[in-house]
Structure 1
Amino acid sequence: MTATLTEPAVRRRPLDAGTRTVAVGVLWAGLLLVTYWWAADGIRDLGEWETGLTSLGRLTGLLGADLLLIQVLLMARLPAVERAFGQDRLVKMHRTVGFTSFNLVLAHLVLITWGYAAGDLTRTPGELWDLVTNYPAMLLATAGTACLVLTVVTSIRKARAKLRYESWHLLHLYGYLGVGLALPHQLWTGQEFLTSTAATVYWWSLWAAAAAAILVWRLGIPLWRNARHRLEVTAIVPEDDDVVSVYLTGRHLDRLPARPGQFLGWRFLNRTGWTRGNPYSLSAAPDGRSLRITVRALGDGSALRGVRPGTRVLFEGPFGRLTESVRTRHRVALIGAGVGVAPLRALAEDLEDAVLLHRFRRRPLFAAELHALTRDRGLRVVDLPGHRRSPGSWLGDGVPVDDLTALPYLVPDIAERDVYICGPAPWAESVRRAATAAGVPADRIHVEEFSW
Structure 2
Amino acid sequence: MATIAIRPGDISTRTSRPDVWRAGAVVLIWMSSLLVIALWVSGGGVVLVLGFDAQTLTTLGRLCGLVSANLLLYQVLLMARVPLFERGFGREAITRMHRFVGFWSFWMLVAHIVLLVAGYAAAAEINPFAQLWGFVWDYPGMLLAAAGSLLILLVVITSVRRARRRLRYESWHLLHLYAYLGVGLALPHQLWTGADFLSSPPATAYWWTLWAIAAASVLCFRIAIPVLRSWQHAIRVTEVEADGARGVTVRMSGRGLDRIAQAGQFFVWRFVDGPGWTRGHPFSLSSAPTAEGLTISARFAGDGSRRLATLRPGTRVLLEGPYGHMTGDVRTRSKLLMIGAGAGVAPLVALLQAEPWDADDATLLTRDTIPADALRQAEISDLVARRGLRHLSLPGPRSPGGSAWLPATHRDWRGHDFIRHLVPDIAEYDTYVCGPDPWMAAVTRDLRAAGFSPTLIHTESFTI
TM-score where L is the length of structure 1: 0.93
After superposition, what is the alpha-carbon deviation per residue over 1:289-337, rounded to whole angstroms, capped at 9, x for unaligned?
Answer: 1111111111222111642222222211111111111111121111100
Structure 2 counterpart of 1:395: 406
The alpha-carbon deviation at position 247 of structure 1 amounts to 1.3
RMSD of the TM alignment (CA)? 2.0
Q: State the SS of the aligned residue for 1:259.
A: coil
The alpha-carbon deviation at position 252 of structure 1 amounts to 3.8
1:358 has 2:366 as partner: yes
Distance of aligned partners of 1:424 and 1:119 in 2 relative to their CA distance in 1, 3 Å threshold: farther
Structure 1 gap segments, 5+ residues each: 1-6
Mapping of residues 212-361 of structure 1, within 5 Å? 212-255=216-259, 257-304=260-307, 306-351=310-355, 352=357, 353-361=361-369
Q: Take 2:425 and 2:142, find their aligned partners in 1: how far apart are those partners?
A: 62
Structure 2 counterpart of 1:3: none
Structure 2 counterpart of 1:410: 422
1:441 has 2:453 as partner: yes
Q: Take 1:414 and 1:13, find their aligned partners in 2: how far apart are those partners?
A: 20
The alpha-carbon deviation at position 254 of structure 1 amounts to 4.1
After superposition, what is the alpha-carbon deviation per residue over 1:329-356, rounded to whole angstroms, capped at 9, x for unaligned?
Answer: 1211111001110000011012312211
Letter in 2 for 1:283: S
Is the Cα–Cα contact under 8 Å of residues 363 and 391 in structure 2 kept in the other structure?
yes
Structure 2 counterpart of 1:26: 28
Structure 2 counterpart of 1:69: 73
Structure 2 gap segments, 5+ residues each: 1-7
Distance of aligned partners of 1:136 and 1:412 in 2 relative to their CA distance in 1, 3 Å threshold: same
Letter in 2 for 1:396: P
The alpha-carbon deviation at position 43 of structure 1 amounts to 2.2
Structure 1 counterpart of 2:139: 135
Q: Take 1:22 and 1:266, find their aligned partners in 2: how far apart are those partners?
A: 28
Q: Take 2:340 and 2:434, find their aligned partners in 1: how far apart are those partners?
A: 5
Q: Take 1:242 and 1:398, find their aligned partners in 2: how far apart are those partners?
A: 23
The alpha-carbon deviation at position 272 of structure 1 amounts to 4.9
Distance of aligned partners of 1:121 and 1:82 in 2 relative to their CA distance in 1, 3 Å threshold: farther
Structure 1 counterpart of 2:5: none
Q: Take 1:437 and 1:205, find their aligned partners in 2: how far apart are those partners?
A: 48
1:11 has 2:21 as partner: no
Letter in 2 for 1:355: T
After superposition, what is the alpha-carbon deviation per residue over 1:371-417, rounded to whole angstroms, capped at 9, x for unaligned?
Answer: 21122222211111211112761101333421232211122223431
Q: Take 1:417 and 1:253, find their aligned partners in 2: how far apart are those partners?
A: 30
Q: State the SS of the aligned residue for 1:118.
A: helix
Report 1 or 2 for greater relative contact order, CA contacts < 8 Å, sequence distance ≥ 6: 2
The alpha-carbon deviation at position 250 of structure 1 amounts to 2.5
The alpha-carbon deviation at position 253 of structure 1 amounts to 2.6
1:371 has 2:381 as partner: yes
Q: Take 1:18 and 1:366, find their aligned partners in 2: how far apart are those partners?
A: 35
Q: Take 2:86 and 2:296, find their aligned partners in 1: how far apart are those partners?
A: 21
Q: Take 2:48 and 2:430, find their aligned partners in 1: how far apart are those partners?
A: 55
Q: State the SS of the aligned residue for 2:337.
A: strand
Letter in 2 for 1:11: T
Letter in 2 for 1:440: F
Count of matched residue pairs: 445
Is the Cα–Cα contact under 8 Å of residues 95 and 462 in structure 2 kept in the other structure?
no
Letter in 2 for 1:176: Y
Q: Take 2:201 and 2:388, find their aligned partners in 1: how far apart are those partners?
A: 63
Select the residue among 40, 49, 67 that pairs with 1:38. 40
Q: Take 2:274 and 2:96, find their aligned partners in 1: how far apart are those partners?
A: 31
Structure 2 counterpart of 1:386: 396
**Hey, which of these two has a bigger chunk of helix by percent?**
2
Mapping of residues 151-162 of structure 1, within 5 Å? 151-162=155-166
Q: Take 2:171 and 2:311, find their aligned partners in 1: how far apart are those partners?
A: 20
Q: State the SS of the aligned residue for 2:162.
A: helix
Is the Cα–Cα contact under 8 Å of residues 415 and 438 in structure 1 kept in the other structure?
no
Q: Take 2:12 and 2:384, find their aligned partners in 1: how far apart are those partners?
A: 23
Select between 442-451 and 59-68 the one with higher mean Cα deviation: 442-451
